[in-house]
Amino acid sequence: MIKIGTRGSKLALWQANYFASLLQDNDMESEIKIIKTKGDVAKNLSFDKIEGKGFFTKEIEDALLNKTIDVAVHSLKDLPTQSPEGLVTAGLSDRANPSDILLINPESFENDQPFKLRKNAVVGTSSQRRKGLIKYYRPDVGIKDIRGNVPTRIKKLREKEFDAIIIARAGVDRIDADLTKLETLTLNPREFVPAPGQGIVAFQTREENIELRKTLGKLTDKKLIETTNVERRILQQMGGGCHMPLGAYCVKDNNGYLHVWACFAEDWKHPLRFVQYSASTDHELAETIVKKLKNDTTI
């Protein structure tokens, strides 16, 4: 019996049950254990007010190290690039739509405005990256922090606390969120660059658990590993986490070329720098992107 550790939100439980179904397809039984994280407890603080990295993952990783669970299921974008000693990310889900989605109250929708938002609209997000991007494209809008799971955020939008909110399209799709009477706009990931690993679920286990690691490895698309590693290396080399306005998105075309879109700012109130770069190999690809994001003139 494999014990799966997860947060308790509707989306996190979808992810855990998705993983359980993969195990079942491989004739492996499992049970789900819900674990509260610092990010779940500090519901009234924006991400930049919570100290440290991994505030949606640390307590689950501790349970792995303590052997009270066998596999931790995380949103990859929440998972720090450096695993604690003794743990490894052994598998990835298929990638859902990596885009962000803008949900708009009907009375705040204006078709002739960029992003279909009325002038001076108030947009809800606690992501530094999303704040920086929406202000880049729409300097007139106001920004207001929002916390809570996907249904809670949509409820706050319906209650007119915001004109619009920005959340991950994958989360909306996975829980089949009720979007009736809301206007929706899926944002192009090559322009509104997503977080590294957005749309992917990560399966983490103990390094010593060789057989389970082999099983998880078999479940993972090798091409996805390659593109995701580029995104994650960019994040790692930038020293980033949820506090940093950083986006990175990598795709591989049918000819084997890798294409990367990235953006970065020192702070969401500072101007964003954008990079688009293509290469035939991932060798030094992340390093090149990082130098360009840092405006390093030695390249």
Strand partners, 237: none
Q: Which of 95, 129, 135, 233 is catalytic?
A: 129
Q: Is 118 a catalytic residue?
A: no
Contacts of 161 (CB under 8 A, 6+ apart): 124, 144, 146
Q: Are 164 and 187 in contact (CB under 8 A)?
A: no
Strand partners, 258: 252, 279
- Report the pLDDT value the prediction gives residue 207, as an integer from 0 to 100: 96
Q: Is 140 a catalytic residue?
A: no
- Report the pLDDT value the prediction gives residue 87, as an integer from 0 to 100: 96
Show pLDDT as tens, one digit a residue, over the chain (299 residues): 999 999 999 999 999 999 999 999 989 999 999 998 866 554 554 444 433 356 678 899 999 999 999 999 999 998 888 889 999 999 999 999 999 999 999 999 999 999 999 999 999 999 999 999 999 999 999 999 998 899 999 999 999 999 999 999 999 999 999 999 999 999 999 999 999 999 999 999 999 999 999 999 988 888 899 999 999 999 999 986 657 899 999 999 999 999 999 999 989 999 999 999 999 999 999 999 999 999 854 44
Contacts of 288 (CB under 8 A, 6+ apart): 277, 279, 299
- Report the pLDDT value the prediction gives residue 40, as an integer from 0 to 100: 59
Q: Which of 7, 153, 174, 232 is catalytic?
A: 153
Picking from 143, 148, 124, the residue whose alpha carbon sits closest to that of residue 45 is 148
Q: Is 77 a catalytic residue?
A: yes
Distance CA 240, CA 232 (A): 10
Q: Which of 7, 70, 78, 263 is catalytic?
A: 78
Q: What is the pTM assigned to this prediction?
A: 0.90
Tokens linked to 298: 């030695």
Q: Which of 118, 147, 156, 291 is catalytic?
A: 147
- Report the pLDDT value the prediction gives residue 299, as an integer from 0 to 100: 42
- Report the pLDDT value the prediction gives residue 223, as an integer from 0 to 100: 85
Q: Is 130 a catalytic residue?
A: yes
User: CA 252 from chain center: how many Å?
Assistant: 19
Q: Is 129 a catalytic residue?
A: yes
- Report the pLDDT value the prediction gives residue 221, as an integer from 0 to 100: 84
